[in-house]
Structure 1
Amino acid sequence: MVLLAAEGLSNAEIGRRAGMTRQTVIAWRARYESGGTAAGRLQLAAFTLGHGGTGLTFYDQDISDAFDTRAACMLAVPIGLPTYRPKPGGPPGRPRRLTL
């Protein structure tokens, strides 16, 4: 669904291709966007405090197994102090190779 939206398709067209209603597509896109916004805010707060943070996407079952719960989380945001000194990642389209 995210890839189809990135191609600029309408919610109705995404629903048609994915076999779901337009309303379902709208609901999923809203959830995806709100999760990303919350994760981004958490990461910005961590960076402001001199900590690190990253957004990681997992399969539902991986989250359930890791936290021993039936939760269906798709995004986890680890925050903390890295054991290495962060380096700039490079300009868009030319990422720098990361080494630890």
Structure 2
Amino acid sequence: MYPPSMIATGSVGAAICGLQLDDGDSLTDLLAKITNTDVDCLKACQEQIEAVLVNSLRQVRQQQQQSNPSKTVDELDQASTPTDVRDINL
């Protein structure tokens, strides 16, 4: 339904919002301006991407809990990478 450029832009917006580096609206406005797309359409695309991610992560968590019932939710929530991606400055 969306062109690849819109999905890419929505993915970037969702990733930055997921890291809580921006409030979202100003970033979405900037991305829409840069890519010359409609702000509302970009927001809808980004919201759909975020919804898919939430559902996917929920399914993974359920599968992990079923395969490792002895682990607590806190243990499953710990990052598997040694560095928090929010600490990386590009």
Greater helix fraction, Structure 1 or Structure 2:
2
Letter in 2 for 1:30: E
- Per the alignment, residue 55 of structure 2 pairs with 38
RCO greater where, 1 or 2, for CA within 8 Å and sep 6 or more? 2
The total of aligned residue pairs comes to 57
Residue 4 of structure 1: how far off its partner (Å): 5.2
Residue 3 of structure 1: how far off its partner (Å): 2.8
Give the TM-score normalised by the residue count of structure 1: 0.47
User: Structure 1 residues 40-49 or 2-11, which shifts more?
Assistant: 2-11
Bigger CA radius of gyration:
1
> Tell me, which stretches of 5 or more residues in structure 2 are unaligned?
1-8, 69-79, 85-90
Distance 2:39 2:27 in 1: 9
Give the TM-score normalised by the residue count of structure 2: 0.51
Residue 18 of structure 1: how far off its partner (Å): 1.3
Alignment CA distance shift 1:4-1:30 (3 Å)? closer
Alignment map for 1:1-100 (pairs within 5 Å): 1=9, 2-3=11-12, 6=16, 8=22, 10-50=27-67, 89-92=80-83
Residues 13 and 46 in structure 2, CA contact (< 8 A), matched pair in contact too: no
Sequence identity (%): 9
Greater strand fraction, Structure 1 or Structure 2:
1
